[in-house]
Amino acid sequence: MPPMGELIWFAAALAGAGAVAGFLAGLFGIGGGAILVPVFYQLFGLLHIDDAVRMHLSVGTSLAIIVPTSIRSFLAHRKRGAVDMQLLRSWIIPVPLGVLSASVIAASVSSAGLRAIFALIAILVGLRMLLNRQHWRLGSVVPSNPVRAIVGWSIGLLSGLMGIGGGVLNNTFMTLYGRPVHQAVATSAGIGVLIAIPGLFGYIWAGWGANGLPPFSTGYINWLVVALIIPITLVVAPLGVRFAHALEKRQLETGFGCFMLLVAARFFYSLT
């Protein structure tokens, strides 16, 4: 057992991560997984969880937490009439298929491989947040199928491998085609639901019967951590929604981008 002082410190870190994740879920339309996954990875290391399942458990547990967070954020945004329901309905099949594809990959890839994937995507997300400019455009109309379906599948795949709600990826897609940022954020909350629910079941399947899992785990989901974090995220998510409709987010985007680059560096260092 680790020293009691360290357990208390990490419990506080978990509570803080839950609060930040809930706020970001409402603010950026993301599930907060980019915050939670690296925190879980450190926590599970402190608790001496087998390294072979440590990263998988971090990603799967993050997706489980995103389920209620995304639902709460989506309902709050929909109440304001900000969600593009037509786009969301068109991704009901492609996005979950991408997430399930990620689960299949997670079932066979090593912990080091999953960390490398997370780090690579984190670099892209971080650079996007740092370099994003509102005037960048690829067009004025969101593409129709098959391009739209391919994008939806890709968002599901990358999000499922990272344990995130897909908000940053969808925000990028929608704003590059001229959609207002507030509409992109609101719609991303709904996409988080399409990612998190199949991700939850996918990571249960992927980790079913795996060796080295801690108590209270079903596959790659640890329900004890889920139970501790979810109440905090549910309370804080509506606060993020209010800020999303009232504030200029450029400074927050810059800070989040720097955080993602630091996380990527941490995971790359763990591979050496």
Measured CA to CA, the distance from residue 34 to residue 59 in angstroms comes to: 9
Q: Does the pLDDT at position 3 exceed 80?
A: no
Average pLDDT over residues 122-145: 80
Average pLDDT over residues 66-74: 86
pLDDT of residue 166: 86
pLDDT of residue 95: 97
Return the C-alpha torsion angle 241, 243, 246, 248, nearest 10.
-120
pLDDT band, very low/low/confident/very high, at 150 (cuts 50, 70, 90): very high
How far, rounded to the nearest angstrom, does the alpha carbon of residue 265 sit from its chain's CA centroid?
A: 18
Q: Does the pLDDT at position 266 exceed 70?
A: yes
Average pLDDT over residues 196-215: 94
pTM of the model: 0.84
For the chain, the average pLDDT equals 85
pLDDT of residue 161: 93
- What is the domain count for the chain? 1
Return the C-alpha torsion angle 46, 52, 54, 58, nearest 10.
170
Strand ranges inside 133-247, DSSP E: 217-218, 221-222
Q: How far is CA 80 from CA 76, 83, 85, 174, in A?
A: 7, 8, 13, 19
**Residue 191 sits in which domain range?**
4-270
Whether 46 and 151 have beta carbons less than 8 Å apart is answered as no
Q: Regarding predicted confidence, which is higher, 126 or 208? A: 208
Whether 57 and 213 have beta carbons less than 8 Å apart is answered as yes
pLDDT of residue 87: 95
Neighbouring C-beta atoms of residue 4, cutoff 10 Å: 8
pLDDT band, very low/low/confident/very high, at 137 (cuts 50, 70, 90): confident
pLDDT of residue 25: 67
